């Protein structure tokens, strides 16, 4: 992102933005907007109902009705949402093969001033499997921008965060984050990418550890991601109610911090939330990447599909499912919908389907690349005292004015 651009704002707003950019946590209360949870989880989502024509994976995304009738999308006995890759069908060899899967897109859109929190107990994994929980801007891609919250492939054990833009946006250096920066150019294929360094953020370990929570804060100063294993979930998230607020200043250093070197509103349209699970495609199925992340995998151009998609679905895809307790969204207290400085807009897009989904039990984007390596970030202290002094002065000026 080439330049920082601020809409007309008060002095206090400017100081608040400066504090965030320098890595100083400022107390801010966020109020609930929407809770996708329980028996109504799927009610505000649209099912894709087409082949994977964005990342060219070997899947067909089902309609809502087909997903319900095949038991690939439902609410289990624990009240959690299940979204599965078909693991019961035997796929015959063919020139082009597809296995049924699920892609859903939220009818609501989100932007600056919003926080999105997902509590998941299981994330799809396994050779050929490419799951993602992400957001994309309304309009032609990538002009509307893309935010990847959960995304990894095959047998990787670490999640990756990424931003994708059409312009010259970049992930600036010296970030206040615990993750490892893999790439800084947000306009190149894998986007500007940060690998999670905390254990069990993806793969078999994630589910075995009881899952965890991911939070994404979209702010005028940038985009910030957190991940917590279940024992470490912050108290305000763990005890959240339909009316209680949350405060990201209590959450510690983000896993990935993107204080953008460009204007967010010029590079990101209002964002829709998306769950996908594709197979192979332009990341998980690339021969060199497939071999590196699936030990014993073949090196041929079609090895990913022939070794996994074709043939019986079990046991290969027994772990290719999402189990999600909830997705909750929040807005900064005092924000006005659509206000660029306070941010926090939520719009609703008409639903294309409203039929109910079945209840049962589990049987078992975007694109990024690379792998993670441990490199814990150091909390930025430069300018800390200066910003605190400016904040104090701003408060005093407000009292005088």
Contact 109, 345 (CB under 8 A): yes
CA distance 164 to 193: 9
- 178-193 in b/e form (b: 16+ CB < 10 A) is bbbbbbbebbeebbbb
Report how far residue 242's alpha carbon sits from residue 348's, in angstroms, rounded to the nearest whole number. 20
Which structure tokens are listed for 245? 């607020």
Closest Cα partner for 102 from 70, 150, 136? 70
> For residue 100, what is the enclosing H or E element?
strand 99-101
**What is the three-class DSSP state of 64?**
helix
**Rounded to whole angstroms, how far apart are CA atoms 22 and 182?**
21
CA distance 85 to 305: 14
Residues involved in catalysis = 146, 151
Q: Tell me whether strands 358-360 and 73-76 are parallel, antiparallel or unpaired.
A: parallel
Which whole-number Å values give the CA distances from 271 to 63, 111, 120, 308, in the listed order? 22, 6, 21, 33
Cα angle 345, 350, 355 (rounded to 5 degrees) comes to 125
**Residue whose pair of structure tokens reads 């349209």 in the numeric block:** 269
């Amino acid at each position: 992102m080439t330049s920082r651009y601020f809409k007309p704002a008060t002095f206090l707003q400017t100081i608040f933005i400066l504090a965030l950019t320098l890595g100083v946590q400022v107390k801010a209360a966020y109020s609930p907007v929407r809770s996708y949870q329980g028996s109504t989880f799927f009610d505000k989502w649209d099912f894709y109902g087409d082949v994977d024509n964005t990342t060219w994976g070997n899947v067909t995304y089902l309609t809502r009705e087909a997903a319900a009738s095949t038991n690939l999308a439902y609410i289990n006995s624990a009240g959690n949402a299940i979204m599965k890759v078909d693991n019961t069908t035997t796929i015959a060899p063919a020139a082009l093969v597809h296995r049924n899967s699920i892609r859903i897109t939220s009818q609501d859109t989100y932007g600056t001033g919003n926080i999105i929190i997902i509590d998941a107990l299981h994330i799809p994994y396994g050779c050929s499997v490419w799951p993602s929980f992400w957001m994309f801007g309304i309009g032609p891609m990538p002009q509307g921008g893309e935010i990847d919250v959960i995304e990894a492939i095959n047998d990787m054990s670490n999640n990756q965060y990424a931003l994708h833009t059409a312009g010259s946006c970049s992930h600036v250096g010296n970030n206040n984050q615990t993750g490892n920066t893999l790439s800084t150019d947000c306009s190149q294929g894998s986007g500007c990418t940060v690998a999670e360094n905390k254990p069990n953020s993806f793969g078999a370990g994630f589910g075995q550890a009881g899952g965890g929570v991911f939070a994404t804060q979209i702010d005028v100063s940038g985009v910030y991601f957190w991940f917590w294993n279940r024992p470490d979930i912050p108290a305000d998230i763990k005890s959240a109610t339909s009316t209680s607020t949350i405060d990201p200043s209590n959450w510690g250093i983000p896993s990935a911090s993107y204080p953008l070197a460009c204007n967010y509103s010029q590079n990101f349209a209002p964002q829709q939330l998306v769950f996908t699970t594709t197979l192979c495609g332009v990341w998980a199925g690339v021969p060199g990447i497939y071999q590196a992340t699936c030990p014993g995998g073949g090196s041929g151009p079609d090895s990913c599909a022939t070794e996994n998609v074709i043939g019986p679905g079990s046991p290969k895809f027994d772990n290719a499912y999402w189990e999600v307790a909830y997705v909750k969204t929040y807005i900064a207290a005092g924000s006005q919908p659509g206000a660029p400085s306070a941010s926090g807009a939520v719009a609703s897009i008409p639903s294309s389907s409203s039929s109910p989904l079945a209840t049962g039990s589990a049987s078992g984007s975007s694109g990024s690349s690379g792998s993670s390596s441990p490199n814990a970030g150091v909390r930025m202290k430069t300018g800390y005292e200066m910003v605190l002094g400016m904040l104090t002065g701003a408060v005093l000026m407000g009292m005088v004015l």
